[in-house]
């Protein structure tokens, strides 16, 4: 069984939290520092996971303000 990469594991965890409603549209995601501590990884896999989710349209990054769950209606 292939090992899932940290970025894929993090992206899937955030996807699951969005689909379960734990993170609702408009909610701010934890900071990069908080996520690195939570997942026990360096910043790079967290950034990669966020880029994947941004490309999928699930989250939006706002420079200097943070990362938010995207509103699927907009």
Domains for the chain: give ranges and CATH numbers: 6-69 (1.10.10.10)
pTM higher than the cut 0.75: yes
Helices 43-55 and 6-20: crossing angle in degrees, nearest 10, is: 50
Q: What is the pLDDT of residue 29?
A: 98
Which of 57, 70, 39, 12 lies closest to 31, judged by CA? 39
Stretch 20-26: mean pLDDT: 96
Burial class (CB in 10 A: 0-12, 13-18, 19+), 26: exposed
Q: How far is CA 6 from the centre of its chain?
A: 12
Cβ count within 10 A of residue 42 = 10
Stretch 49-67: mean pLDDT: 95
Q: What is the pLDDT of residue 2?
A: 72
pLDDT tens digits, 33-51: 999 999 999 999 999 999 9
Q: How far is CA 3 from CA 6, 22, 36, in A?
A: 9, 26, 20
């Amino acid at each position: 069984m292939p090992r899932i990469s940290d970025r894929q594991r993090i992206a899937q965890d955030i996807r699951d939290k969005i689909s379960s409603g734990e993170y609702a549209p408009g909610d701010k995601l934890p900071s990069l520092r908080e996520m690195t501590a939570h997942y026990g990884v360096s910043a790079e896999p967290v950034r990669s996971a966020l880029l994947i989710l941004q490309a999928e349209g699930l989250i939006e990054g706002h420079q200097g303000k943070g990362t938010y769950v995207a509103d699927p209606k907009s």
